[in-house]
A = this chain, B = another copy of it.
Amino acid sequence: MATVSGESLTESQQRILSFINTYVEANDVPPTIREIQKGAGISSTSMVSYHLKALERANLLNRRERSSRGVVVKDPSRVTLRDMVNIPIVGRIVASEPAPMPDADALRDCENTVQIARSMVGNADGLYALEVKGNSMIDALINDGDIVVMKRVAEVKNGDLAAVFLTDRNESTLKRVFHEGKRLKLKPENPTMKPFYVDARVAQIQGKVMCVIRKT
């Protein structure tokens, strides 16, 4: 136990800590000293203050001095809680037609969304999601019902997984793309399958795949 961590938390301090947590959960606001006193069964406000200082030393709290309700728990699981993005599911992707691109109407109207932690996808701009229909994408290791989170990007870089519509075959597919002169190398995700090449002019890049989600 090398760190400053609270290896020796009094029972009172644990009570205080958990009381603050449940209080915040219920009220969206940290409690006052006196509320802690009652809620955690501490005898006096000075004791609460005393324990809070100890907890602050143990690096479990942040306190703002002389500010009412100035105690927030340093719960790492709470730090990033706010960063969730709602991504609209704007349509379906099937092999036989181009992948939908989101327009303003689709974004507004769609009632289905998928929630993703921002840490998963980074900047949320231009994100949209498609539901995979049919099992024609299994060479991309993507199955019927999977959710593909896409991003509108100006251009895809070599190695990006992208939705590509091949105009000569009338077919949408998800492949890793590599620019090779006038050709495009399309590499399936499935490592047992061979890449193949198409003329760059017959390949329309529909969007970059950021993330695939499968609920089971």
Contact = CB atoms under 8 A, between A and B. Distances in A.
A55 to B, nearest CB: 16
B84 A117 contact: yes
A75 to B, nearest CB: 10
Q: How many copies does the complex hold?
A: 2
Contacts of A25: 82
Contacts of A77: 86
A42 interface: no
A23 to B, nearest CB: 12
Contact of A84 (B64, B84, B86): B84
A192 to B, nearest CB: 7
Given A25-B82, A138-B192, 11 more contacts: A27-B64, A28-B72, A69-B69, A77-B86, A84-B117, A120-B215, A141-B141, A141-B143, A143-B191, A161-B216, A211-B213
